[in-house]
Structure 1
Amino acid sequence: MTALASPPDTHTTAVPSRRTRRRRLSSVLGRLPGTAAVWLFTGFCLFAFAYMLLSSLKSSRDIVEHPWSLPTTLHIENWSTAWSDGGFGPAFMNSTALVVCAAVVTVAVAAPAAYVLGRRSGRLSSGLNVYFVLGLGIPMQVMVLPLYALMNRLELINSLVGLFTLYVVVSLPFTVFLLTSFFASLPAELEEAAALDGVSASMTFWRIMLPLARGGLVTATLLNAMSMWNETLLALMFIQTNDKFTLPLALLNYFQQQQFTGADFGALFAGASISILPMIGLYVWLGRRITEGITMGTGK
């Protein structure tokens, strides 16, 4: 009898060719410099952050004589000195109230404009989109003098209300640009169904479209809050008295005081920690949502 031929093995794994292996290897090697640079930068930032926190718990003498050693005695009083004597307490309250209100109001004002620009097509919408994009490219240094003349005429110099107004106005172009992509990605069938049910355009926005863009709204609010928390130029130009200082101004003012009264490096590092820790905590808590929000808006 003739032996039957065995069927071909359909589960045999194909061996990658030499050219394919070379491409994979070159792709991995090509990403190594960028990956190494990212990890080096991350390691440097973590080292600087740890050094700042540890130095805030050391005496000035230990910081000067043993800058790289761990603190043998925890000087918690550095934080209380910075909070009270350095003026970081009132500045923290000012920054918190200012940033929270300005970030929320900016998103509340930008959302309706972004909705209209994202859902309507035409020359007017395209022109307004370009107008907001151009607002992103104007350097802050160019706007300071005209803004100062305007705010002086309105008697809003050295006023937290005036600084709040500036933060909202300056942040609007970025916020509208960011939110436009979110509203443009929402399905048009929802608007059509709402119109068939007799829902007005304004109610469609507030009850249907705005909740669906919640991820973009949260992302825009957090990004604006981080930017406003670290803003220095406008605060330096428009705030003049210590009782209205924000945290960046309090840090600059305390650093200048230390140059004349004798450097208290422990309290200075504690003040810097007070300025930085809230935003680091916010990013650790909501960093994933920020990244997902930016990626989702960009992809759509």
Structure 2
Amino acid sequence: MAAASKKKKIGVNLIIHIVLLILAVICLAPIALVFINSFKENAEIVANPLSIPVVLHLENYISAWETGNFSVGFINSIKLTGCTVIIILITASLAGYVLSGKRIKGSGAVLMYFMMAMTVPIQLFLFPLYYVYANLNLIGNIPATSVILAALYMPLSVFLMRTYFLNVPRELEESARIDGAGTRQVIWHIMRPVVSPGLITVAILVGLQSWNEYLISSTFLQGAKNFTATLGFLAMNGSYGSDMGIMMAAAFTLIGPIIVFFLCTQRYFVDGMVSGAVKG
């Protein structure tokens, strides 16, 4: 009986690993093709995109870096992503703390508002936002654009942070209050260390979304000097869309930092998602 149960368990684990392996291949195959083809000339890609390059054409990356203006684009992307993450972490953590314990009247209505805000497409607000930003001379202003992105990602971030605050034992805050700690001290010295996995998770999610964002940045960051790396890559389609080698090099230049960043932070991301999945 025990042997049959052990064989069944091994069979189930084998099937699970096979499925995971297939999913991994499906996810990694496009990235591998982009990487391989980034070292080939356009004629080689057209002839056989699955072949291994005989000669590594590193000049594709040089041309992609120069024509995509990535030296400026990466700096602008870092500014936009950094400003958005900072705004989100400050506001979403404070909102999550307040909404986690029904510390204000009408917290249910506020949660309902955030839930409804998640269903409203940002396209509805593009024209009025553009009109206001144009009148305030904020078109091309990266910090001002990050405010729009922060508002876009705010509902989900608030719900996530509220979940992490719900997992904090109430006794921790009560004991701190008894010892004379104020609200600021409770949030910074008691709550912040406990919900730090949630802060990291939210920062990673918002950071990746901000880095890849196109609609808002293309609308409000006009002018080549304000282009992010994503906009610089898309601007290459007009002149170099027919040269797939350079486009592949530009694509991998764009996604390479994201892959490295996620590989370095995946452990914190997974731990944060697991620790925040207990209560809702």
TM-score by length of 1: 0.84
Structure 1: gaps spanning 5 or more residues? 1-12
Q: Counterpart of 1:10?
A: none
1:64 maps to 2:46: yes
Is contact 2:229–2:254 with CA below 8 Å preserved after alignment? yes
Q: Counterpart of 2:270?
A: 291
Q: Counterpart of 1:269?
A: 248
Is contact 2:38–2:248 with CA below 8 Å preserved after alignment? yes
Instruction: Work out the CA distance in 2 between the residues paired with 1:145 and 1:290.
Output: 35
Q: Counterpart of 1:282?
A: 261
Is contact 2:93–2:158 with CA below 8 Å preserved after alignment? yes
Instruction: Work out the CA distance in 2 between the residues paired with 1:123 and 1:92.
Output: 44
Q: Tell me: CA distance 1:41–1:14, structure 2 relative to 1, closer, same or farther (3 Å).
A: closer
1:197 maps to 2:179: yes
Alignment of 1:171-186 (within 5 A): 171-186=153-168
1:124 maps to 2:97: no
Instruction: Work out the CA distance in 2 between the residues paired with 1:280 and 1:58.
Output: 22
Instruction: Work out the CA distance in 1 between the residues paired with 2:79 and 2:190.
Output: 30
Percent of aligned pairs with the same residue? 30
Q: Tell me: CA distance 1:115–1:122, structure 2 relative to 1, closer, same or farther (3 Å).
A: closer
Q: Counterpart of 1:47?
A: 29
Q: Counterpart of 2:125?
A: 143
Once the 2 structures are TM-superposed, how far is the Cα of residue 78 of structure 1 from its aligned partner?
A: 1.1
Once the 2 structures are TM-superposed, how far is the Cα of residue 107 of structure 1 from its aligned partner?
A: 0.7
The AA in structure 2 aligned to 1:163 is: T
Which residue of the other structure, out of 214, 232, 242, is the alignment partner of 2:224?
A: 242
SS at match of 2:63: helix
The AA in structure 2 aligned to 1:242 is: A
The AA in structure 1 aligned to 2:203 is: T
Deviates more, 1:53-62 or 1:174-183: 53-62
The AA in structure 1 aligned to 2:260 is: G
Give the greater-gyration-radius structure (CA).
1
Alignment of 1:17-28 (within 5 A): none
1:95 maps to 2:77: yes
Q: Counterpart of 1:215?
A: 197
Aligned pairs, number: 277
Once the 2 structures are TM-superposed, how far is the Cα of residue 104 of structure 1 from its aligned partner?
A: 2.1
Deviates more, 1:168-177 or 1:144-153: 144-153
Instruction: Work out the CA distance in 2 between the residues paired with 1:14 and 1:257.
Output: 67
Once the 2 structures are TM-superposed, how far is the Cα of residue 36 of structure 1 from its aligned partner?
A: 6.9
Deviations 1:82-108, CA, capped at 9 Å, x for gaps: 111221221111112211221122111
Is contact 2:83–2:143 with CA below 8 Å preserved after alignment? no
SS at match of 1:91: helix
How large is the Cα RMSD of the aligned pairs?
2.5
Deviates more, 1:186-195 or 1:61-70: 61-70
Q: Counterpart of 1:256?
A: 238
Instruction: Work out the CA distance in 2 between the residues paired with 1:160 and 1:86.
Output: 19
Alignment of 1:99-118 (within 5 A): 99-118=81-100
Instruction: Work out the CA distance in 2 between the residues paired with 1:49 and 1:212.
Output: 36
Runs of 4+ in 1 over 6 A off after TM superposition: 13-16, 34-37
TM-score by length of 2: 0.89
